Amino acid sequence: MSDIEALKKAVPPFQIFDLIPQYAEQGFIDPERIDLLKWAGVYPQRPQEDGFLMMRVRVPAAEFSSATMREVANIAEEYGRGFLDVTDRQAFQFHWLTIQDIPRIFERLEPLGLHPKGACGDTVRAVIASPLAGLDAREIIDVRPLAHAMEGTLTGNPDFQDLPRKFKMSITAVPELEGIHMINDIGFLAHRVNGEVGFDVWVGGGLGAVAHLSRRLGVFIRPEEVVEVGQAITAAYRDHGYRQNRKKSRLKFLIKDLGVEKFREIVETDYLGRKLTDGPAAPVARFGGNDVLGVQPQSDGLNYVVVATTVGRIDPAKARALADLADRYGKGVLRTTAFQNMVIPHVATEDVEALSAELAAIELAPKTTIRGTTIACTGNQFCRLALTETKARTADLVDHLEPLTLAMDVPFTINLTGCSNACTRYQVADLGFMGANKTDKDGTVHEVFNVHLAGSIGQAHRTGTKLKGAVPAEQLNAYAEAVLAEFQANKHVGESFVEYADRIGHEHFAPDAVLGAREAVTA
């Protein structure tokens, strides 16, 4: 039994909420129980010996008020040195916190309807809900009530506080646009079968060092069954998932070994007590969500505006300005997305131009470029596991590439992460960069990035090809620019990068080949 498994058996993980006030009062955390902080959304920040913490805060159904945005900004400013991130699970993340701050932050979050319970740890993580819910004319059903019901039923539930590992869920309702279900432990995807609204269910998705895309359970369930089926699948994983080796404890490994048919049988027989209805696959999003950017029409004649944050980092002043704009041009409501962006819904067509101009003035313009399709993890600025710097480097990459890609007729994704854990899903991007270290003979350590090419949570539904070689960190801009320049110069109209890479051959984009050709041209 691993140390964390032993700890979970000795102390029910959600008991950490009773312990945190004690730690805050004494000014230090019991080192033997520090891992339980994850269940409260809290991690030690790098370097751990300095005692600072970072915290993730769940945003139920990805929707919140402008007043909530202002208070989140205030918390970041007062306790977190002005650092505020939007994560790719639609959460907020603070940095530079102390244990003495945590109880006060909890008190300020509670009336906002936000909470950190289960934001991390071996439990049900934030339920990703479609940021288009109730807005887009193409949606099948407004999934917000179901997302709230799943949060209320599964989040903080003692029955699910001790899972073998983390457990991620998503629920979406615009299958032509959203592909996030492919990388979650459970993904509910709404569609119509013979005129009836229901959900296609996918299970066993997960990235990390060993990536698996989800597989169809083969069912069609009605909206009123969603929460029950979600509970049943989670319970089956709790009871049957592997606990001896944490590297193989995710649901994806259980599905791989059992097969999806056997897993479905276990869920039906042991947890539901009935057979689920067979059903066909839902439509597949060509680009996996990356075409939902800029200004989009709502079903009621208004518009929603997707705000590109630049790798999820937004300072408190901009956050408060964004809240003011949501009040002035929308209905005082905002949303977060699974691509580290934000949304202002309910904008009148005649106000779009003025809102866009004001957003541009605070560098949060609604752009359909790589600024909205590039994500980066926390990196070694704060994360203890990361091997490379990510946020600033990726922001610089976006600034460098954006002017060169304004005329591109298809979306292009760049996902960059500081280690193999895939917090920003490098295996399913057009260009996925995974941070690593390379040590010279003299002992000098260099930051480099492995390249995973032409992965997709869209129509291609695959993980990318890991190319030979690595890109030195200082040549990241040059490598990405060369790849994009060739793609734009030689692609067919409407051809995606996945399609182009398959046509040309993936090894054509190996770092040594690309950078060597660039150096030859320069010389």
- Which tens digits make up the pLDDT trace of 173-225? 998 888 899 999 999 999 999 999 999 999 999 999 999 999 999 999 999 99
Q: Are residues 380 and 427 in the same domain?
A: yes
Asked if the structure places residue 35 within a domain, the reply is no
d(CA 370, CA 403): 10
Query: What is the enclosing helix (H) or strand (E) of 22?
Result: helix 16-26
Q: Are 407 and 370 within 8 A, CB to CB?
A: no
Q: Are residues 189 and 246 in the same domain?
A: yes
Asked if the structure places residue 512 within a domain, the reply is yes
Residues 121-141: pLDDT tens digits? 999 999 999 999 999 989 999
Q: Are residues 270 and 393 in the same domain?
A: no
Report helix, strand and coil shares of the chain as percent, to nearest 5.
40, 20, 40
d(CA 372, CA 415): 11
Cis peptide bond upstream of 47, omega within 30: yes
What is the mean pLDDT of the segment spanning 2-23? 95
Residue ranges of alpha helices (H) inside 330-475 are: 352-361, 391-401
Give exposure, 1-25, as e/b (b: 16+ Cβ within 10 Å): eeebbebbeebebbebbebbeebbe
The angle subtended at Cα 80 by Cα 335 and Cα 87, nearest 5°, is: 35
Question: Is residue 521 pLDDT above 70, yes or no?
Answer: no
Q: What φ, ψ does residue 203 adopt, rounded to 5°?
A: -135, 155
Which of 94, 92, 89 minimizes the C-alpha distance to 124? 89
> Maximum distance among all alpha carbons in the chain?
70
Q: Are 81 and 96 within 8 A, CB to CB?
A: yes
Tokens of 122: 């071996």
Report residue 282's pLDDT band, with 50, 70 and 90 as the boundaries: very high
Tokens of 217: 């359970």
Give percent of the chain with pLDDT exceeding 90: 92
Q: What is the pLDDT of residue 272?
A: 98
Q: Are residues 256 and 146 in the same domain?
A: yes
Q: Are residues 397 and 319 in the same domain?
A: no
Residues 27-79: pLDDT tens digits? 999 999 999 999 999 999 999 999 999 999 999 999 999 999 999 999 999 99
Question: How many beta carbons lie within 10 A of that of residue 468, not counting itself?
Answer: 12
Q: What is the pLDDT of residue 284?
A: 87
Residues 356-385: pLDDT tens digits? 999 999 999 898 899 999 999 999 999 999
d(CA 283, CA 202): 13
303: domain CATH number? 3.90.480.10
Q: Are residues 333 and 379 in the same domain?
A: no
Q: What is the pLDDT of residue 113?
A: 93
Q: Which domain holds residue 345?
A: 295-368
Question: How many beta carbons lie within 10 A of that of residue 249, not counting itself?
Answer: 22
What is the mean pLDDT of the segment spanning 429-453? 96
Q: What three-state secondary structure class fits 379?
A: helix
Q: What is the pLDDT of residue 143?
A: 97
Q: Where a domain ends, among 289, 307, 341?
A: 289
Q: Which amino acid, one-letter code, is at 300?
A: D
Average pLDDT across the chain, whole number: 95
d(CA 106, CA 313): 22
d(CA 208, CA 30): 29
Cβ contacts of residue 489 below 8 Å, gap of 6+?
A: none
What is the mean pLDDT of the segment spanning 236-250? 96
Question: Is residue 459 pLDDT above 90, yes or no?
Answer: no
151: domain CATH number? 3.30.413.10
Question: Is residue 517 pLDDT above 90, yes or no?
Answer: no
Q: Are residues 182 and 160 in the same domain?
A: yes
Q: Are residues 513 and 440 in the same domain?
A: yes
d(CA 508, CA 152): 49
**Between the CA of residue 88 and those of 79, 199, 422, 424, 457, what are the distances in Å?**
23, 23, 11, 7, 14
Asked if the structure places residue 110 within a domain, the reply is no
How many folded domains does the chain comprise? 3
d(CA 357, CA 425): 32
Q: Where a domain ends, among 257, 289, 321?
A: 289
Q: Are residues 403 and 484 in the same domain?
A: yes
Tokens of 398: 């976006």
Q: Are residues 305 and 268 in the same domain?
A: no
Q: Are 181 and 189 within 8 A, CB to CB?
A: yes
Tokens of 187: 């993904």
Q: Where a domain ends, among 289, 323, 358?
A: 289
Question: How many beta carbons lie within 10 A of that of residue 175, not counting itself?
Answer: 21
Asked if the structure places residue 87 within a domain, the reply is no
Which of 89-93, 145-149, 440-444 has the lowest average pLDDT?
440-444
Asked if the structure places residue 116 within a domain, the reply is no
Query: What is the enclosing helix (H) or strand (E) of 398?
Result: helix 391-401
d(CA 168, CA 166): 7
Q: What is the pLDDT of residue 410?
A: 95
**Between the CA of residue 256 and those of 79, 159, 282, 438, what are the distances in Å?**
44, 25, 22, 33
The pTM score is: 0.96
**DSSP-derived secondary structure letter, 358:** H
Q: Are 163 and 241 within 8 A, CB to CB?
A: yes
Q: Are 455 and 432 within 8 A, CB to CB?
A: yes
Q: Are 8 and 122 within 8 A, CB to CB?
A: yes
- N-terminal to C-terminal alpha carbon distance within the chain: 58
3 state SS for 112-130: HCCECCCCCCCCEEEEEEC
Bridge partner residues of 193 (DSSP): 196
Question: How many beta carbons lie within 10 A of that of residue 523, not counting itself?
Answer: 5
Q: What three-state secondary structure class fits 396?
A: helix
Asked if the structure places residue 73 within a domain, the reply is no
Asked if the structure places residue 99 within a domain, the reply is no
